[in-house]
Structure 1
Amino acid sequence: MLKTPTGTWLPAWVPQSTLTLSFLLMFCSIVQSATGGYDGSMLNGLNILVPYTSYFNLTPATTGLNTASVFIGSTFGTLVSGVMTDRLGRRPAIFWASVVTLIGIVIQTAAQNIAMFVIGRIILGVGSAISGVSSGVFLNETFPQRWRTWGAGMLNNFYYVGALIAAGVTLGTGQWQTTWAWRLPSLIQGIFSILCIVILPFVPESPRWLVHEGHYEYARASVAQTNSDGDLSDPVALAVYKEILDALEWEKKEGRTMSPKEIVRTPTARRRLLIGMSAGPFSCIAGNIIASYYLGAELTTAGISDTLDQLKANVVLNVWCLACALVGTQLVAGWGRKPTALTSEILLVICLFIIGGLSKMYADDPDNASASLVYGDVAVMFLFQGFYSIAWTPLLYLYPPEVFSVRIPGLPFIIQHRYSIRANGLAFTTLALNLLACVFVFIMPIGLDNIGWKMYMVNGSWDIVIAVLIAVFWVETKGKTLEEIDALFEGEKHSSVPDVEQVRKGQATLDVGAIEKQLQGNTEIVKYE
């Protein structure tokens, strides 16, 4: 361990092994997705448990409120997440987000009525939103480029780790007849935030944030630690660091203004905004909300109404989704972001229409429905969640930060000084996701109760639109550093060094001595004031 300056109040003792550090980076940022996955699976289980539904005397409307309240908090948290992530630093923002999340979990666990439960979940949502943005930006900016797809993709894959733990916990407490049947699962939710707080002192600050703040030597050390076992003169580490500096210098020469209008001033800026923010809404309305929060109601429409059977299905579903998310991460890394998302979306459309048709057949004559019809419907539901997990689980926190890679001003609705579009861009897509989730999570139990199988048909129809938008507008970013992705939009690379991947593979050489001289001449670069 090497004590490493971070430019913030939160110190760091960083291992010199890049591989070890990569694992720590990944685990310190699982808090958001694991907490979110645990939350969704826990609510799935709680909505099945009689001690929970009877304690709060739940109706379809109050069930929706209890469940959707976390997204109300997430909406508020998103509004400040970009500011916190940029002003405090990536690591301190994750720390405070974990603290806020823990406070919400305590209130939720101790709830005596619906109001207290909802307040706790709103606070939990605030913390989760801040953590989601800061973790997503932190991993994308800090992880070595060769492993970034796995590092950032696994951030959201841990959703299913949390979900699996929650499914097992609620299955275990499902036979209890006291309020601890739902209080204990709620309390255990805090374990991820505690784990994150423990690991944070052993990872460095984002080198791109450090450069933005003027801490150039700290940034260079961070790049070396995350790319070359701490070797400052390694060609790959030098190439990465030089790209970061050159991108900042190019922006300075371009005379980018700090007006909020800058984010939509040019066609390129507008294109990046629309493409980058699309992942959140697309993933939200793809149709997974039904199974993520109301699996019991979904299984009931298919003919499986026994409480224990539904809890067991929740466990199996999360094991399946985790496996699919891991396969999807490999596809995203090897095949690419756009083809994986497009293929997944087409398969989701097919599954939704099949689920709707089979659910209609069951609803028309439930007493005479065959076992093959019931289990066939459930099988397609599982396939749907698997296809969703293949693309949207790894892409949600991987693709937007890649697209939002040029530092330009923050978003119009966020009052701030001067911040990078990466943090606020991810906040924007998360805000859009949470606003939609507030609506969809609230109306899903009401919709399933009133129109049943038709909800699947409606969902399948707008998924067709999503597939078309991905095919036409998305840009492939596979195999590029964050600075190299700029060339895909701007039409030119803003650094004179070869692509990092070419240097790593020996396809291009780097004059280390010449680069060192250039770096010594870059001391005049100043951070944005």
Structure 2
Amino acid sequence: MGLVKLPSGTWMPAWVPESSLVLSVLLVLCSAAQSLTTGYDGSMLNGVNILPQYTNYFQLSTGELALNTCSVYIGGALAPLCTGYFLDRLGRRMTLLWSTCLMVVGVILQTAATSVPMFLASRIVLGFGNSIAGAAGAVYLSETFKATWRAWGVGLYNDNYYVGGLIAAGLTLGTANIQNTWAWRLPSLFQGVFSVICIIIIPFIPESPRWLEHKGLHAEAQLVLARVNANGDSDDPVVLLQHQEIVDQLAWEQDQGQRTSWRQMFTNRSSRKRLLIAVTPAIFSVIAGYPSGYYLGTQLENVGVTSTTAQLQVNVVLNIFALACALFGTQLCARWGRKPVGILTQGLCTFFMLVLGILSKEYALSTYKPGVYGAIACIFLFTGSYSIGWTPLLFLYPPEILNYSIRANGMAFCQFANNAIATVFLYAMPIGLDKLGWKIYLINVGWDVVLTAIVALYWVETKGKTLEEVDAIFDGIRHSNMPELEDLTTGKVDGALVVQQAAHRGQEVESEKDAAAVA
């Protein structure tokens, strides 16, 4: 397998694999640094929150335990203030590079922490970089990945959350017997491995073709599309169709006076509607019940599982189960579509949260084993239900809904909403579990019902469409006269016709440019 040098519009060119399949694998591995780190962080904190070597070293109260845990989201909530600017100015690829470098700095500081303030500061730095990387990875992957594989490519991006979680669960279980602070410092240090892998891969992946096209680098954008979709064949009908759609869509947005700024998200009804729908996964994935996952130890204690070793073992098995469910859900997103999976996952979450609350009430600290096992089973089933939909949809759905002008800032806004609400919930959850016990689950059920109804009523379907074809749902008209990609890939439209249309449209564009130059 050889490498092909591609221009990137930045100071770092790209040496890209000739094979589209190999390139697709690298794109997912590189972009997944954020989800691996986030999943690892949740599982690691689950593990170290159980370890006496951690809690005794910092002498943590319940409030300090919650603050240590949620501090990564404080940094994450601050990052969106500059994320959109970096993505549009530096490019998707370069923003991903610098944000992962910042994550490495945060991990080093966290591992070296000797006090609660230092630990908090390190996690704020880590969260800041991680939030930027999250928006950058999602935007980059949705804009660059092969269109016909997008559901799997971008879905797998966040499915890696549980790969990171599984690694952390196994590592904290393995270091639990170390009778000093390295019991938690080693898992902390390993958290930086994912960012390092991303940094190593970045020189071998291209820049987003949509960012290149927006910068006026037309030939470069088509080269990237060809390398991602057709092993470098620039005359492939799929490549020509997508490139022309991108050209037409960006030209329309420019004619409408749309700019890549925060203000653009609120200037017209279409942009506001896109933003409101796009932000729902960021918010719903938190308040559906996810933050309780950071406090698995407390949940297990509430149903009678008090052994540290048993809790760590449950953490390992739970991550394996959740990963399997997330992969199953990604397949459903590709086959059924995004909206049906959203309804399914939220409905199941509501049901199992209700059952968990009832069982926790009846069998908390009970010696009746079937009741205890039933409550543990519900923790698994709730986590699996959550993983089926919210894990792949969190980063798959929003960038599909947002058009180019607001995609970067819109994803930054989604990251802000996700991190800000997670900060509140992660801080409140241990206090709620401590003060309210099983009642916190029933409170959760109430708003889960509302979330299910919102998904059913207001989400739109994006399955089988390019990012530009989704725009027709919101704008009422298509901005390109090219056939739809699904019609081409299913044989409803002849590829030769697409080649002719692309050539004709290209001639029209050149004529328009010449006329404009003369004028």
TM-score, normalised relative to structure 2: 0.96
Which of 421, 440, 446 is the equivalent residue of 1:455? 440
Match of 2:165 among 153, 158, 163: 163
Aligned: 1:507 with 2:492: yes
SS of 1:294 mapped into structure 2: helix
> 1-side partners of 2:75 and 2:299: how far apart?
26
Are the equivalent residues in 1 in contact too, given 2:262–2:409 (CA < 8 A)? no
Task: Provide, for residues 193-224 of structure 1, a one-character-per-residue CA deviation record: whole Å limited to 9, x for no partner.
Answer: 01001111111110000011111111010111
What's the secondary structure of 1:497's corresponding residue?
A: coil
Query: Could you tell me how far apart the structure 2 residues matched to 1:277 and 1:119 are?
Result: 28
Letter in 2 for 1:297: T
- Specify the SS of the correspondent of 1:3: strand
- Structure 1 distance, partners of 2:227, 2:507, is 20
Please list, as runs of the form range in 1=range in 2, the aligned pairs for 1:348-363 lying within 5 A after superposition.
Answer: 348-363=349-364
1:314 aligns with 2:312: no
Match of 2:505 in 1: 518
Distance in 1, matches of 2:436 and 2:498, equals 67
Equivalent in 1, 12, 15 of residue 14 of structure 2: 12
Instruction: Say whether the 8 Å CA contact 2:175–2:183 is kept in structure 1.
Output: yes
Could you say if the C-alpha distance between residues 59 and 504 of structure 1 is closer, same or farther in structure 2, counting changes exceeding 3 Å? same
- Deviation per CA, 1:235-275, whole angstroms, max 9, x where unpaired? 11000000000101222333447785543333322211110
Equivalent position amino acid for 1:373 in 2: G
Aligned mate of 2:201, from 199, 210, 228: 199
Q: Match of 2:462?
A: 477
Shift of 1:369: 3.2
Q: Look up the match of 1:377.
A: 375
1:495 aligns with 2:480: yes
Give yes or no for the alignment of 1:425 onto 2:410: yes
For each residue in 1:277-318, what CA deviation from the matched residue of structure 2 results, as whole angstroms up to 9, or x when unmatched?
111001011102112x10000000011010000000000000
d(CA) in 1 for partners of 2:310, 2:498: 64
Q: How does 1:322-337 map to 2 (within 5 A)?
A: 322-337=323-338
Once the two structures are overlaid, the 10-residue window that deviates more, 160-169 or 443-452, is 443-452
For 2:237 and 2:11, the matched residues in 1 are separated by 31
Q: Would the aligned equivalents of 1:10 and 1:91 in 2 still touch at CA under 8 Å?
A: no
User: How far off is 1:502 after superposition?
Assistant: 1.4
Deviations 1:481-508 (A, max 9, x none): 0000011111111111101121122211
What SS does the aligned partner of 2:53 have? Answer: helix
After alignment, is 497-506 or 462-471 more displaced?
A: 497-506
1-structure distance, mates of 2:360, 2:227? 54
| Farther-moved stretch of structure 1 (150-159 vs 510-519) | 510-519
Q: Does 1:300 align with 2:287?
A: no
- Name the structure 2 match of 1:413: none
Distance (Å, rounded) in 1 between the aligned partners of 2:459 and 2:468? 18
Match of 1:401 in 2: 399
Letter aligned with residue 353 of structure 2:
L
Secondary structure at the aligned position of 1:2 is classed as strand
One-letter identity of the residue aligned with 2:467: L
* Aligned mates of 2:259, 2:466 — CA distance in 1: 25
- 1:51 is aligned, of 27, 49, 53, to 53
Residue 207 of structure 1 aligns with an amino acid whose one-letter code is P
* 1:525 positional shift: 6.4
Q: Tell me the C-alpha RMSD between the 2 structures.
A: 1.5
Paired with 1:258 and 1:498, the residues of 2 have a C-alpha distance of: 27
State whether residues 240 and 498 of structure 2, in contact with CA within 8 Å, keep that contact through their aligned partners in structure 1. no
Distance in 1, matches of 2:486 and 2:91, equals 28
* AA at the equivalent of 1:390: I
Structure 2: give runs of 5+ residues left out of the alignment. 515-519
Q: What is the alpha-carbon distance in structure 1 between the residues aligned to residue 31 and residue 368 of structure 2?
A: 46
Instruction: Note if contact 1:243-1:483 (Cα within 8 Å) is conserved in structure 2.
Output: yes
User: Cα gap change, 1:514/1:471 in structure 2, threshold over 3 Å: closer, same or farther?
Assistant: closer
What's 2:428 paired with?
Answer: 443
Distance 2:318 2:166 in 1: 8
What percent identity do the matched residue pairs reach? Answer: 50
CA distance in 2 between partners of 1:457 and 1:473 (Å): 25
Asked whether the 8 Å contact 1:275–1:474 carries over to 2, the reply is yes
Match of 2:32 in 1: 30
Structure-2 residue corresponding to 1:66 = 68
Residue number in structure 1 paired with 2:141: 139
Please show how residues 210-289 of structure 1 align to structure 2 within 5 Å: 210-256=212-258, 261-289=263-291
Contact 1:249 1:525 in 2 (8 A): no
How many residue pairs get aligned? The number is 509
TM, length-normalised to structure 1: 0.94
